[in-house]
Amino acid sequence: MRLSNISVILATLIFAACSAESNLESEAPPAPRPAKLIQVEAASNQRNLSFPAVIRAAQTAELTFQVAGEIRELNVLEGDEVEAGLVVARLDQRDARNRLTQAQAELENASAEYERAERLAAQDAISRSVLESRKTQRDVAQAAFSTAQKAVEDTVLRTPFKGVISTVSGRQFQNVQAKEAIAILQSEEVEAVVNVPGTIIARMPQLVPVGVRVRLDAAPDANITGTFKEASTEADPNTQTYEVSFSFNAPEDLFILPGMTATVETSFVVNGAEDLVASGTAVPLSAILAEGDDTFVWVVDMETMTISKRQVTVRSDVSDYVTVTAGLDGNETLIAAGVSFFHDGMTVRRWVPE
């Protein structure tokens, strides 16, 4: 009986100790949440914009025959580097050459008849109308010969510029129709293409470009300088954005192909737009917390690493930053991303990328 009582007492003590330890653990403060922090700075007249981009060939051509026929010769493979004027493919030329031979004979005959008529007309042996008739026949034969020559030339498909054969869809002995694609030729020069919202396009007269950088997803550390090339003046009906392309020289140690993804980073200086250069504090758009019509930021107390929500007034801008015109004095440290996952009084720690 005594042993039984002792066992019960020991079990009770162990359970109480575990419960106390569990309560202590539940009452322990939560670990500080990692947060990306930024030190705010005064707004300047420079704006930095970044856009997702796709790499495409600066020039692309669909290689097609002008006439129908059977492919008798196909001289390229996908990936071939070609010079301008290279014969890509050739159709069966027998019918075209027969017509050319016939047209040449008719031209020679018509030319001889016209020359004979000229001699006779000089001797007043034939009328002027007969001479004009022979001349017309000669001209018609000349036109038919030129057409036959063009028909033979149309059986030969050549590259219009230097580049790379990206796709070959034609096959030897295949019967193809006129304008049916045989291959796709792309220039070796490439460009980065982005889609820009109309709100930014509308501001372009006040923005002076000072630098463009193309950052390839496949080689983000490569230093590639870009140059503005052209911009579409018609918006995409689905996205209401405008296509803008930037040319760049590919580094020799990189093999850049159309279809690769990148980011185009652009820098502009604001010129003459008072609403864009007014004083304020530059804050990343990702640091702004919107609640209804009000906007807030999370301010970090760097001594205690606790955060508090502060209401601010912002002005729309044309970059990844907004300008805070009221609510900050320019010396604060803010949470820069994931603002919807924090709450007032939370303790944070600085997030350091690995």
Helix, strand or coil, per DSSP, at residue 95? helix
The secondary structure of 266-285 as a DSSP string is EEEEE-S-HHHHSS-EEEEG
pLDDT tens digits, one per residue of 254-275: 989 999 999 998 887 766 544 4
Confidence tier at 15 by pLDDT (50, 70, 90):
low
Query: Domain range for residue 177?
Result: 63-91+157-187
Q: Which of 236, 270, 304 is the last residue of a domain?
A: 270
In this prediction, residue 110 carries a pLDDT of 95
Same domain, 109 and 172: no
Report the percentage of the chain scoring pLDDT > 70.
84
The CATH number of the domain where 202 resides is what?
A: 2.40.30.170
- The answer to the question of residue 229 being in a domain is yes
Q: The domain spanning residue 121 has which CATH number?
A: 1.10.287.470
Residues in the chain: 354
Last residue of a domain, one of 136, 154, 172: 154
pLDDT at 25 over 50: no
Lowest-pLDDT choice from 7-16, 60-69, 128-137, 286-295 = 7-16
Helix, strand and coil in the chain, % to nearest 5: 30, 40, 35
d(CA 9, CA 175): 97
For residues 83 and 181, state if they share a domain.
yes
Quote the pLDDT of residue 28. 61
Name the most confidently modeled range: 5-19, 73-87, 314-328: 73-87
The fraction of the chain above a pLDDT of 90, given in percent, is: 47
**pLDDT for position 317:** 58
Residue 75 lies in a domain: yes
Q: Assess whether pLDDT exceeds 80 at residue 157.
A: yes
User: Is 13 contained in some domain?
Assistant: no
Whether residue 188 contacts residue 162, with contact meaning beta carbons closer than 8 Å, is answered with yes
When divided into structural domains, the chain yields a total of: 4
Assess whether 127 and 142 both reside in one domain: yes
Beta strands 33-35; 348-350: pairing state: parallel
Whether pTM exceeds 0.75? no
- The reply to whether 240 and 300 lie within a common domain is no
Residue 203 has pLDDT above 90, yes or no: no
Helix (H) or strand (E) holding 82: strand 81-82
Strand, coil or helix: what is 322?
strand
> What pLDDT digit, counting tens, does each position of 89-111 carry?
999 999 999 999 999 999 999 99
Residues 178 and 114 reside in one and the same domain: no
Lowest mean pLDDT among 46-55, 141-150, 221-230, 234-243: 46-55
User: Residue 24: pLDDT band by 50, 70, 90 thresholds?
Assistant: very low
